[in-house]
Amino acid sequence: MASLQLEIVTPDQIVLSRQVEYVGAPGIEGEFGVLPEHVPFISGLAVGCLYYKADSKTRYVFVSGGFAEVSDNTVTVLAECAEEAEHIDFARAERAFNRATERIAHKGSDVSLPRAEFALRRATYRLSLKNRG
């Protein structure tokens, strides 16, 4: 079966490097999917859940913005932050969710609403992967 090389890289580390059958990613214009022999392209990434299929299993990775490049049967993801579902600290994500919810509810002058909403979105996506790790 034909495959793709998936590379997920953050400024700190190589999060993932493996052969996969399919990649689905949260593009800024909507989710996109990549199969082997896909036409080359570049897309900005939104905060969300990237997933890939390998060895007849679907696996999930939280990504927080960045870019994806598809070229020569390789999907390269350059993400600000990326965490495989099985490595997410869900207790920390829950604390971040609660903190962001509280900040949004108490819109004080010292709270940046866009920043709190972005933190809430990140925490929500992380928590959505709780049973997919």
Largest distance between two CA atoms of the chain? 57
Record: fold of 4-85: ATP Synthase; domain 1 (2.60.15)
Distance CA(86)–CA(64), nearest Å, equals 16
Strands 14-20 and 82-84: unpaired
- Domain 89-128's class? mainly alpha
Which residues, given as ranges, of the chain have pLDDT below 50? none
Residue spans in the chain of domains classed CATH 2.60.15.10: 4-85
Specify the pTM: 0.88
pLDDT, tens digit, 9 for 90 and up, residues 50-87: 999 999 999 999 999 899 999 999 999 999 999 999 99
